[in-house]
Structure 1
Amino acid sequence: MKTQQIAAVVLATLIGAPAMAAQCDVEIGGNDAMQFDKSSIAVPASCKQFTVKLKHTGKLPKAAMGHNWVLSKTADVQGVAADGIPAGADKAYVKPGDARVIAHTKVIGGGETDSVSFDVAKLKAGESYTYFCSFPGHSGIMKGTLTLAK
């Protein structure tokens, strides 16, 4: 009888336990020293959508030290950044319709936040992805890696 009681308790515990949900969002900060506070982000493959919340932790206005968060394949970063500069601040320094851009936020200044969500199905296992700030002059140092995690 004890074995049946133990089995019943274990079963009840398993049924009643909340499922461990993947964390399908992240917050990342950008500061007045042109640095993100994370050098890498792992996106769980089990997520359908992934949301990035960008927070400008500095004090400078966006005209002087604006930041955004742009995601592309690593091989495309230089081209996306170069093509984004002529698009200007009102287009977040991202060329309109650029198919190389997986996701991006708007450009924000000190104390501001913005978020972007993207379809995780756009990511492929084993592909190299980089997130960066496309504000002119920032992409060379203000970047990190994004991976699709199992």
Structure 2
Amino acid sequence: MKNTLTLALALLALVATTGCGPKDSSSSGTTAAAPAPQSGPRTIEITAGDDMKYSVTAIEAKPGEEITVILTNKGTQPKEVMGHNWILLKAGVDAAAFDAAAVQAGATKDYFPADKADQVLQHIPLMGPRKSGQVTFKVPTEPGEYTFLCSFPAHFQVGMKGTLTVK
């Protein structure tokens, strides 16, 4: 009877600890677990550097989704010669015309045309090297494509722009 009880307890301990050790990372055929639901807004991290390019040029979001956009200028040149910003325009705004107005606004206004502010949904102000800025907002509820751009002179023209697609 004592041996039977000892054997039963040993089997119970073995079953209870099966699978509790470290996972073999070299095993194949496993599926990744779904990411845990996050609380709060989804974060989009964008970098920009002296190459005048955003690291992210396409963002997809659901209507009314709350997102945080973080822009980091990873460049080394001074703000006066290589500043970066992030401006999200309303649907249907002529991005080239907005950019031209931004250049006309000049450096003292950080290339943000105050008279065109009604064409802007959100923006992160102009930043110098190794600086970050962010904005948290709810994307439009209207499905469509919304252009974002850097308004520093010549950046839009060389392709420093992207699209937020709401669907």
Q: TM-score range by the shorter chain?
A: 0.7 to 0.9
SS at match of 2:125: coil
SS in 2 for 1:68: strand
**Does residue 24 of the first structure (1) align with residue 56 of the second (2)?**
no
Q: Counterpart of 2:151?
A: 134
Checking the alignment, whether the CA contact within 8 Å between 1:89 and 1:107 is kept in structure 2 is: no
Alignment of 1:1-150 (within 5 A): 20-21=37-38, 24-45=42-63, 47=65, 49-72=66-89, 73=91, 75-97=93-115, 98-120=117-139, 122-125=140-143, 127-140=144-157, 141-149=159-167
Percent of residue pairs identical:
34
Report the TM-score when normalising by structure 1.
0.75
Structure 1 runs, 4 residues or longer, greater than 3 Å off: none
- After TM superposition, give the deviation of residue 92 of structure 1 in Å: 2.6
RMSD of Structure 2 on Structure 1 (CA): 2.2
Question: Structure 2: any 5+ residue segments left out of the alignment?
Answer: 1-35
Please give the secondary structure, in 1, of the residue aligned with 2:102. Answer: helix
C-alpha displacement at 1:79, in angstroms?
A: 1.6
CA–CA distance in structure 2, aligned partners of residues 89 and 123 of structure 1: 33
When the two structures are superposed, what TM-score results if normalisation uses the length of structure 2? 0.68
State the Cα deviation string for residues 3-51 of structure 1 (Å, max 9, x = none).
Answer: xxxxxxxxxxxxxxxx73475221100010101111211123352x322
Count of aligned pairs: 129
